[in-house]
Amino acid sequence: MKGDAVTAPHPSPLPEERGASRASPLLRAEALHKRFSVTPSLLGRARGEVHAVSGVSLSIPTGTTLALVGESGCGKSTVGRLVLGLTRPTSGRVFLGDDEVTALSGERLRRLRRRMQMVFQDPGAALNPRMRIADAVAEGLLVHHPQLSRAERQARVAALLERVGLRPEAGQRRPGELSGGQRQRVVIARALAVEPELLVADEPTSALDVSVQAQVLNLLMELKAERGLTFLFISHDLRVVEHVADRVAVMYLGRLVEEAPRETLFARPRHPYTDALLSAVPDPRPGRRRARVVLDGDVPSPLSPPPGCVFHPRCPLYARLTEGERARCRGESPELRTLDDGVPSAHVACHFAERM
Amino acid sequence: MPPGAPLLEVEGLSVSFATAGGRLRAVDGVSFSLTQGRRVGLVGESGSGKSVTAQALMGLLDAPGVQVEGELRLGGERLTATDERRWRTLRGNKVAMVFQDPAAALNPRMRVGEQVTEGLLVHQGLGRAERRRRAVELLTRVGLPDAGVRVDAWPHELSGGMRQRVCIAMALACGPQLLIADEPTTALDVTVQAQVMALLARLQAETGMAVLLISHDLGLVAEWCDEVMVMYAGQLVERGPAARVLTRPRHPYTAGLLASLPLPGERRERLVEIPGMVPDMRAPPSGCRFNPRCPRADERCRAEAPAWSEEAEGGHRCHLPLSEGT
C-alpha cells in the first residue's frame, strides 16, 4: 500500500481525556450531545425531543479498538454517525488527529472522510445492487485518488478483493449473486480501498451466520494488525466485543455508564447495568454461565428518561440501598468517575459503584 | 396416550418448494420424536431447514408448489399436510407457536386482550365479559405489567418484550401440549431476552408442556434445553442430551460451530473458522452435505451420503464422527 494515507499521529493539542491511554488518540469525541425533535405522529403523541446522545466523550488511541456496547435505542449508532460527520451534534466536538470533524463541511469534510470509513450491519443495503463488485470497490478510488490510471485502479481492486478473501472473478458479479458473508467482505474491501485510519464498524457480523461470523471477525482483526487500523466497534453482542475490543464503553439511554479496559470490564464490571448485561449473555458451555441478574421492565422511553440516574428504575443495586441513598439516585445524575480500587483507567457513572 | 409415549413423532419428513431455479428440497428426511415435558433445541444456520421443519409441525405448509412427504403423529394421531380442517382444531389446542418477530405476529388493528383470547372464542365459545377476564388472567400470567390496563392497549403501544409476552399468552391460551418457539428472542435485546426465556422456563415447568426451541444461538440452547438437535442443509446431523452435544459433539459441523464462537472469558487470537458457506439447496453437494467444509472429509464422504447412526442417547449422520471420549 502507498504511504500517503498513513499519517503519523500528532500529539494532542488539548489536555488528555480522562480514560485515554498515554498514546495519543486518533479519535477524540468531547461531550457529544444529540437531540432529535419528534414531530407529532399519527399516534397523537405530543411533540417532544429525544436526547439520543447525552454528554458522551470517547478517546481511541491509534491502532486500538474501542467497543461501544448497548441495547437498541441506547444511542450507540448515533455516536457512530456523529464521529463520521454523517450527523451534526447538537453540541460537542469530534477530532480525527488534529482535524476537527465537527468544524468541517462540504468538500473539506469529504476529504477528511477518506481517513474514516464504515462497515454496517447489512451489507446488502450498503451496496448498489446494479453495480458490479469491482466498480463498487473502485468507486472510492475514483473520488479520492483520481490521479490513478485505469490499470493501476484495477490492480488495486484485484489486490483488495484477494486480501479480503474473494476470488478475482467476484469482481464481475453483482451483489445479489453473493452470499451475505461475501457481501460483507466486499464492503470491507471498499472501505479499505481509500486506506482509512479509522474504521467505524456498526454490528458488522450481526446479520451473518455463526460459521461466517468467525471468518469476518478474523479478517477484521488481521487487517487491524496488518495496517495499524483504529476501530470504533459498535455492537450489542458482548461475546463478540470481548473477542475484539481493547477498551469497552457501555451506553444506556444515551449516556456512558462505564468505560474500561476489556479485561477489567469483563472480569469485574463496576456498573450494575454492565453486570446485568454480562450475566445475560448465554454461554454454550453447560454450567459455565455467571449468576444471572434478570432486570425488570424495559428500557424507558428516551422521550421521557427517568430523573437522576436514568438506570435507577431497573437497578438491582438501587433495591439494596437505604432510602436516603436512593434519593440521591433519583435526584442526581452520576458523572463518570474512577474508583479508589487500583484501576485508574476504569470509569463508572454510578453513585454507589463501590457497593457492587 | 400412555405415559412416556412420545407426544410427537416425525418420520422421514421432507419438504420441497418449486422455485424458478428448480425444485428446492429444504428439509430432507428428518426423523425425531418429542416426549411430553421436554425442552428440545433445534439448532442450525440460515437455510438449514429448521424453520420449515417447524412450519410442517404446525401444518402450515399446505400451499401450491410445496410438497410435504413423511409421517407426522401428534399424540398418536396421524396427520397429513393437507387436512386443513383438522389442523385448525389442533393449532392452539395441541400445538402452538411463538415467532421471532412479535410485531408481525400481532394484528396491529386489534387490541391485545382480544387477540389473546381469539383462540378461546374459536375453540371454547366464551362470552364477552368472561373473555376479558380470561385475557387479563392470561396477560398477568405472562408477566405483562399492569395487565388490567394493557388488556385494552394496541400492539404498537407496547415494547418488543411486552409484545412477545402477549404472543406467548396467545400461544398458551388453550393449553397446548407442544409449544414451538422459533427464534423467540432474536429480535429482542439481551436483557429482555433473559426475561422472556425465564418466563418460558416458568410456564414450561407449570404446564408440563414440551417446548421445541428453534435457534441459531448455541449459548441459548445450551442453557435452556435438555436435548439438542442440529440441522445442516436440510438434514438432522446430530442429536443428543444438551450437556453432551455441546461439550463432546460427534459431528464435525457441531464441533465447528462450537469452536467458531467467541467464548466468555476465553479470548483467543483467532476464532476457528468453518471455511466456505452453507450450500445452495438447489444443488447440494454430493455425498455428505458438509464434506466441502469438513476438515475430516475423505473419499467416502465425498461419494456416499452418510446414513443416520442411532446411538445410546441420540445419534449422528457422519462417516467419521469425533470420538465419544473427547
Which fold would CATH assign to domain B35-57+178-316? Answer: Rossmann fold (3.40.50)
> How many whole angstroms from its chain centre is CA A208?
18
Q: Are residues A280 and B194, on separate chains, in Cβ contact within 8 Å?
A: yes
A350 vs A272: CA distance, rounded Å = 8
Per-residue DSSP letter, A324: H
Q: What residue type is assigned to position B308 of the chain?
A: W
Q: Which residues of A touch B157 (CB under 8 A)?
A: 43
- Report yes or no: A71 and A90 within 8 Å, Cβ to Cβ: no
A205 vs A67: CA distance, rounded Å = 14
Q: Which residues of A touch B189 (CB under 8 A)?
A: 71-72, 236, 299
What is the predicted pLDDT for the residue at B128? 83
Interface mutation target, options B227, B273, B278, chain A, most CBs of A under 10 Å: B273
Alpha helices in chain A (DSSP H): 76-83, 106-113, 123-126, 133-144, 150-163, 180-193, 210-227, 238-244, 262-267, 272-279, 323-331
Exposure pattern of A203-241 as b/e (b: 16+ CB <10 Å)?
bbbebbbbbbbbbbbbbbbebbeebebbbbbbbbbbbbb
Q: Which of A343, A218, A185 is nearest to A270 (CA)?
A: A343
Q: Which residues of A touch B265 (CB under 8 A)?
A: 242, 266
A345 vs B9: CA distance, rounded Å = 57
Longest dimension (CA), chain A: 73
What is the predicted pLDDT for the residue at A42? 56
The ipTM of this complex is 0.84
SS3 A268: coil
SS3 A126: helix
Chain A residues contacting B, CB < 8 Å? 43, 71-72, 179, 181-182, 209-215, 217-218, 221, 236, 238-240, 242-243, 266, 276-290, 292, 294-299
- The single residue listed with the C-alpha cell 403501544 is B157
Any idea where the domains of chain A sit in the sequence?
Answer: 268-356
Exposure pattern of B62-96 as b/e (b: 16+ CB <10 Å)?
eeeebebebebebbeeebebeeeeebeebbbbbbb
Q: Which residues of B touch A278 (CB under 8 A)?
A: 264
Query: C-alpha cell of B199?
Result: 418466563
Distance from CA of A212 to the nearest CA of B (A): 7
Q: Are residues A280 and B145, on separate chains, in Cβ contact within 8 Å?
A: no
Q: Locate the chain A residue with the closest alpha carbon to B232.
A: A211
B126 vs B134: CA distance, rounded Å = 10
Interface mutation target, options A271, A283, A311, chain B, most CBs of B under 10 Å: A283
Q: Is B46 exposed, middle or buried (0-12, 13-18, 19+ CB in 10 A)?
A: middle
B30 vs B11: CA distance, rounded Å = 7
CA distances from B179 to A141, B34, B41, B98, B108 (A): 54, 11, 12, 8, 23
Of the partner residues B189, B257, B274, the one whose CB lies closest to the CB of residue A71:
B189
What is the C-alpha R_g of chain B? Answer: 21
Any idea where the domains of chain B sit in the sequence?
Answer: 35-57+178-316, 95-175
Query: C-alpha cell of A327?
Result: 434519593
Q: Locate the chain B residue with the closest alpha carbon to A275.
A: B191
Query: C-alpha cell of B10?
Result: 416425525
> What pLDDT tens digit does each residue of chain A (356 aa) get?
333 333 334 433 343 444 444 468 999 999 999 998 876 555 555 567 888 999 999 999 999 999 999 988 899 999 999 999 999 999 999 999 999 999 999 999 988 989 999 998 888 888 999 999 999 999 989 988 899 999 999 999 999 999 999 988 899 999 998 888 999 999 999 999 999 999 999 999 988 888 889 999 999 999 999 999 999 999 999 999 999 999 999 999 999 999 999 999 999 999 999 999 999 888 888 777 677 888 888 888 888 899 999 999 999 999 999 999 999 999 999 999 999 988 999 999 999 999 98
A161 vs A149: CA distance, rounded Å = 18
Taking only the tens place, the pLDDT of each residue in B64-123 is 999 999 999 998 899 887 788 898 889 888 999 999 888 888 999 999 999 998 877 665
A115 vs B4, residue with greater confidence: A115
Per-residue DSSP letter, B225: -
Phi, psi of A321 (to 5 degrees): -90, 165
A194 vs B100: CA distance, rounded Å = 39
